[in-house]
Amino acid sequence: MTILLVDDHAIVRDGLKRLLAPLGLGEVLEAGNGRDALVLARAQRPGLVILDLNLPGLGGLELLRRLIQMETSRVLVLSMHAEPLYAKRALEAGAAGYVTKNVSPDELITAVRKVAAGGRYVEAEIAQALAVLGAEASQSFDNLTPRELEIMRLLAAGSSLAEIAAAVGVGYKTVANACSLIKSKLGVSRTADLVRLAIETGVT
């Protein structure tokens, strides 16, 4: 099995490689951004992708969506975000597992083994948070697609519509139309309100 590590911090990738080496799961590849990860994934067809959501350019949720469409890789999200909304969206987008960077090495190894073997794994504290997640925290976002959430993330990061179009891989008009649709779904009238909602709910 080929494993692809996707994280924009080289020290994190190096640590993961050292952790995975004794497991003997197979060759380990690395990518520091979403674009490079997509190129590697298309060329190498890794069986397992360990993915950080907070990536420059092509964001983690959008990359996750594209990886799942390829139907060759199982994805374990390894994120700094412990907010249940992140886990909820990642799992809905097709991730087979979700753990934060606060987990112990042993728990991360357990997650890797289970996801690589075809199972699912969600960090215990995240799973509990998901179980008690109230409608108030998620209801407004239930109708947003992974791509719409990615557009919100990029807006919150300060990207222009043109930059978002380039990052997501669609036309400017498509992004503008998507923003209008997102506003309608969330009941807001200004882009500034989308940014505020993204920050308040952790969609950044």
pLDDT tens digits along 148-196: 888 888 888 888 899 999 998 999 999 999 988 888 877 777 777 777 7
End-to-end CA distance of the chain: 32
Query: pTM surpassing 0.75?
Result: no
Backbone dihedral region for residue 149 (phi beyond 0: left; psi -120 to 50: alpha; all else: beta): alpha
Question: Any bridge partners for residue 121, and if so which?
Answer: 97
The ranges assigned to domains in the chain are 3-131, 137-201
Q: What is the pLDDT of residues 127-156, one digit of tens each?
A: 877 776 544 444 456 678 888 888 888 888
CATH of domain 137-201: 1.10.10.10
Bridge partner list, 77: 51, 98
Residue 113 has which token pair? 């083994």
Tell me the CATH number of domain 3-131, given options 3.20.20.190, 3.40.50.2300, 3.40.50.800, 3.40.50.300: 3.40.50.2300
Instruction: Kindly report the average pLDDT of the chain as a whole number.
Output: 86
In eight-state DSSP terms, residue 142 is: T
23 vs 37: which has the higher pLDDT: 37
Q: What is the DSSP letter of 102?
A: T
DSSP 8-class letter at 22: G
- Quote the radius of gyration of the chain (alpha carbons, Å): 17
Tokens of 50: 């360990």
